[in-house]
Amino acid sequence: MNSAVRLNKALASAGVCSRRKADELIAAGAVCVNGIVADELGLRIDPATDRITVHGKPVDFPPPGMESQAHTYVMLHKPIQVVSTVRDPQGRPTVLDLLPEKLRKGPRLYPVGRLDYFSEGLLLLTDDGELTNRLTHPRYHLPRRYQVRLRERPERHMLECMQKGMTLREGERLAPVDAEMRENNTLLLTLRQGVNRQIRRMCRDLGLTILTLRRVSLGPLQLGDLPKGQCRPLLQSEVTALKKAVGL
């Protein structure tokens, strides 16, 4: 990155955070350029010559042309009772606590999206801010598949309600959801929308009780047989497929 770029893009490329989070940090006065607080969201900087700090800590930018090679991509099988954040004010275990020491002490890894406290399954962590930005942007929402085990077997009209697109109690209109009934009162749901706690709220409104909720895929990524609490680096083919899915 020899030429000037927008500050939020530079921070994303350095793996600090997504572009949207970078804008929030800039607006909060947490970012300085050459010792001066950045006060413009559209400010352009040259990472090769400008000195950038976030909360007083210097930002290290990868050499020109090395941005894509400098990133880390990790798939984690998040267990329940672990929060999908890098830190928790209540002192609960976070997804970073599950990573090997070399990953905790390496590049800053951030979870892409979230799984709630009592949900488990596939969670992607990376320091690739541009990819994170795409994966969390409404325009690029990839299909996410979940296995949902229920206490009771849902009636046909409940599945049809999900498949046609329902309106939540709070008034939010949902896009249609692929809903397939499997054995042992297990639903396989595929979502293409980013509504907070969508599955739990759908089941609540339909009178269904969730026993377990597990994300098993994110776009081209498959959880497979990765054990709970364990992680693995993405294969290069998985990284390539993921980037292709969001137009990178």
CATH code of the domain containing 40 = 3.10.290.10
Same domain, yes or no: 117 and 233: yes
Same domain, yes or no: 48 and 168: no
Element (H, E) at 233: strand 231-233
Same domain, yes or no: 76 and 124: yes
User: Could you tell me the pLDDT band of residue 103, with boundaries at 50, 70 and 90?
Assistant: confident
Same domain, yes or no: 225 and 129: yes
Residue 1 pLDDT > 50: no
Q: Judge whether 64 lies within some domain.
A: no
The count of structural domains within the chain is 3
pLDDT (0 to 100) of residue 68: 47
Q: Judge whether 63 lies within some domain.
A: no
- Are 4 and 52 a contacting pair, CB within 8 Å? no
pLDDT tens, position by position, 192-211: 988 889 999 999 999 999 99
Q: Judge whether 10 lies within some domain.
A: yes
Which CATH number is 201's domain given?
A: 3.30.70.1560
Between CA 212 and CA 214, with CA 219 as vertex, the angle to 5 degrees is 5
Between CA 97 and CA 236, with CA 239 as vertex, the angle to 5 degrees is 100
Task: Report d(CA 98, CA 75) in Å as an integer.
Answer: 11
Hey, what are 96's tokens? 């970073």
Same domain, yes or no: 109 and 208: no
Task: Using the 3D structure, point to which of 58, 79, 94 is the last residue of a domain.
Answer: 58
Residue 39 pLDDT > 70: yes
pLDDT tens, position by position, 4-35: 888 988 887 776 777 778 888 999 999 999 99
Indicate the pTM of the whole model: 0.74
116 is catalytic: yes
- Chain centroid to Cα 29, Å, comes to 25
**What is the pLDDT of the chain when averaged over all its residues?**
89
Same domain, yes or no: 11 and 131: no
What letter represents residue 196's amino acid? N
Same domain, yes or no: 159 and 43: no
Same domain, yes or no: 165 and 104: no
User: Could you tell me the pLDDT band of residue 74, with boundaries at 50, 70 and 90?
Assistant: very high
- Are 19 and 137 a contacting pair, CB within 8 Å? no
Same domain, yes or no: 210 and 147: yes
- Chain centroid to Cα 26, Å, comes to 21
Q: Judge whether 65 lies within some domain.
A: no
pLDDT (0 to 100) of residue 63: 58
**Catalytic residue (choose from 116, 128, 178, 225):** 116
Ramachandran angles phi, psi of 198, nearest 5°: -60, -50
Residue 50 pLDDT > 80: yes
Residue 80 pLDDT > 60: yes
Instruction: Say if strands 110-111 and 52-54 run parallel, antiparallel, or are unpaired.
Output: unpaired
Same domain, yes or no: 155 and 103: no
pLDDT (0 to 100) of residue 47: 83
Q: Which of 161, 191, 193 is nearest to 177 (CA)?
A: 191
Task: Report d(CA 119, CA 112) in Å as an integer.
Answer: 15
Residue 66 pLDDT > 60: no
Q: Judge whether 198 lies within some domain.
A: yes
pLDDT (0 to 100) of residue 64: 57
Task: Report d(CA 178, CA 197) in Å as an integer.
Answer: 17
- In 10 A of CB 247, how many CB atoms? 8
Range of the domain at 26: 5-58
- In 10 A of CB 244, how many CB atoms? 11
**Residues forming beta bridges with residue 210, ordered by sequence position:** 150
Which CATH number is 135's domain given?
A: 3.30.70.580
Q: Judge whether 26 lies within some domain.
A: yes
Residue 130 pLDDT > 80: yes
Same domain, yes or no: 83 and 51: no
Q: Judge whether 160 lies within some domain.
A: yes
Ramachandran angles phi, psi of 104, nearest 5°: -70, -35
Same domain, yes or no: 230 and 198: no
Q: Judge whether 131 lies within some domain.
A: yes
pLDDT tens, position by position, 154-203: 999 999 999 999 999 999 999 999 999 999 999 999 999 888 899 999 99
**What does each C-alpha distance from 179 to 53, 68, 185, 187, 213 come to in angstroms?**
47, 37, 12, 7, 14
